[in-house]
Structure 1
Amino acid sequence: MNTANLIDRRKIVDWLGIAPFMIFAFMFLILPTLYLVTGAFFNPAGEFTFKNIADLAHPTILSAYWISIKVSVASSLGGAVIGFMLAWAVVLGGLPSWIRSGLLTFSGVASNFAGVPLAFAFIATLGRTGLVTLLLREWFGFNLYGTGFNLLSFLGLTITYMFFQIPLMVLILTPALDGLKKEWREASEILGASTWQ
């Protein structure tokens, strides 16, 4: 058997190894994206049109974009600040080690809890007929929705998104804060920096 045939067989085997991924990517990423992009230029009758693109400037669609941007900014900033404070308290705040392991374990689970399961969980707990909403009303006489709260409002959506963004930030920042050398802090203090600085 010559060397050229051996090299050709290895290339075929290598390509066969990534074939399942390529098929998956084509079927679930590339094909749906192409369908959406090409479908944007056709009306329900199947005729070519630019109307769908022009309709993106409609006030209803612009309003949807704007609320999405506001929820994204608010939840990411809130998640970053609260997540940083939790990570800082666990790493540099001198808390017991069992709190750290518990927080990191919870963060690992909660940071992967997004999308449809997260939406369902919040609707089942804080929705109009959610468990927490009913318990607050029955046991404490507190009507959550009587206060003006709505899970589908800006505040409700922001709280929902922050549920996984805070733990994600804890997981991202904890190793970074662990990597801060004690000598850097001491050198900063010697040069006159405050604890915060």
Structure 2
Amino acid sequence: MTPFAVYVLLFLAVPCVVALGTGFVTGDGRPSLSALTALGEPLVLRAFGSSALVSGITAVVGAVVGAVVCWGLTALRPDGLVRSLVDSAASVLAQFGGVMLAFAFTATIGIQGVVTQLLLTRLGVDVFAGGVWFYQVPGLLLPYVYFQVPLMVITFMPAVTGLKPQWQEAVATLGGTRREHLLRVVVPVLAPAFVGSVLLLFANAFSSYATAAALISQGAQIVPLQIRAALVSETVLGRENVAGVLALGMVVVMVVLMTLYSLLQRRTERWQR
């Protein structure tokens, strides 16, 4: 454990403490809480609201679609070819993000994307007639859902496979129907795992930066882009310490989400033993 502990200390703990600590000092290094007032600024509040909206929508959509995929996979052999391909694809696609994902979607449904031009030239449908939505916050929904669904498959599949056939047999023995088995056994058992997965997907989208940074080059409409603007802005100077305050706000959100996720996981593990 020693090499891993050193790695966590040097590349995770120390950078995190340094980043958060910058929010509690002035530009000349004196302790101060003045930067904390940035959390009440309208622009920052809107950024947190936009991040929460994008994270919430993509988490729910990704969770529902991913849960349907997991339920369908239960009909396949665990060691079968299709099941192995889906598991492998989910593992790969869940990590496919950043600039590569932004480029893929830009080339597909951007202003000059293949699908966009096909719809315009063949059907006369201009998907950008109402504005350049793809390069704003609404344009993040599709790319985020793209990696949320496979992440849901990875996190929710163990709970689905943990359902025991004996439970259905017991319900049938007691005169219950499939509907009663679904409502009184499957849903209560899977509910904590499902909600926990939604929280994990929310946290995943809330902390995503690279895809949004590649798609939205102008403005800072979500919190990670606000942090970037505070660090590298050439028009608004002297806000470097605000980045630490914004990071603190994100850490608080993540701690709350991960605490709830941990509690739900403990409840889920009771049924998987």
Question: Please, what TM-score do these two structures have when normalized by structure 2?
Answer: 0.54
Give me the CA root mean square deviation.
3.0
Match of residue 142, structure 2, among 154, 159, 171: 159
C-alpha distance in 2, partners of 1:56/1:140?
Answer: 47
1:83 corresponding residue in structure 2: 66
C-alpha distance in 2, partners of 1:92/1:175?
Answer: 14
Q: How does 1:73-152 map to 2 (within 5 A)?
A: 73-92=56-75, 99-146=82-129, 150-152=133-135
1:189 corresponding residue in structure 2: 172
C-alpha distance in 1, partners of 2:41/2:108?
Answer: 35
Shift of residue 157 of structure 1?
Answer: 1.9
1:52 corresponding residue in structure 2: 35
Higher deviation after alignment, 42-51 or 78-87: 42-51
Q: Is the 8 A contact 2:23 2:36 kept in 1?
A: yes
Q: Is the 8 A contact 2:106 2:113 kept in 1?
A: yes
Match of residue 157, structure 2, among 131, 154, 174: 174
Higher deviation after alignment, 145-154 or 76-85: 145-154
C-alpha distance in 2, partners of 1:127/1:45?
Answer: 44
Greater CA radius of gyration, 1 or 2? Answer: 1
Identity %: 32
Change (3 A) 1:89 1:40: same
Partner-residue secondary structure (3-state), 1:144:
coil
Give the aligned length: 178
1:32 corresponding residue in structure 2: 15
Shift of residue 168 of structure 1?
Answer: 1.6
Partner-residue secondary structure (3-state), 1:180:
coil
2:203 corresponding residue in structure 1: none
Change (3 A) 1:187 1:24: closer
Change (3 A) 1:52 1:143: same
Question: Please, what TM-score do these two structures have when normalized by structure 1?
Answer: 0.71
Shift of residue 106 of structure 1?
Answer: 2.0
Residue 71 (structure 1) aligned with residue 71 (structure 2): no
Shift of residue 67 of structure 1?
Answer: 1.1
Change (3 A) 1:155 1:188: farther
Partner-residue secondary structure (3-state), 2:97:
coil
Shift of residue 165 of structure 1?
Answer: 1.4
Change (3 A) 1:184 1:147: farther
Change (3 A) 1:100 1:136: farther
Q: Give 1:32's aligned amino acid.
A: P
Q: Which runs of 5+ in 2 are unaligned?
A: 184-273
Q: Which runs of 5+ in 1 are unaligned?
A: 1-16
C-alpha distance in 2, partners of 1:125/1:173?
Answer: 29
- CA displacement 1:6-65 (0-9 Å, x = unmatched): xxxxxxxxxxx835x455444432333233223223444655543321111001100100
C-alpha distance in 2, partners of 1:167/1:31?
Answer: 31
Q: Give 1:194's aligned amino acid.
A: R
Partner-residue secondary structure (3-state), 2:133:
coil
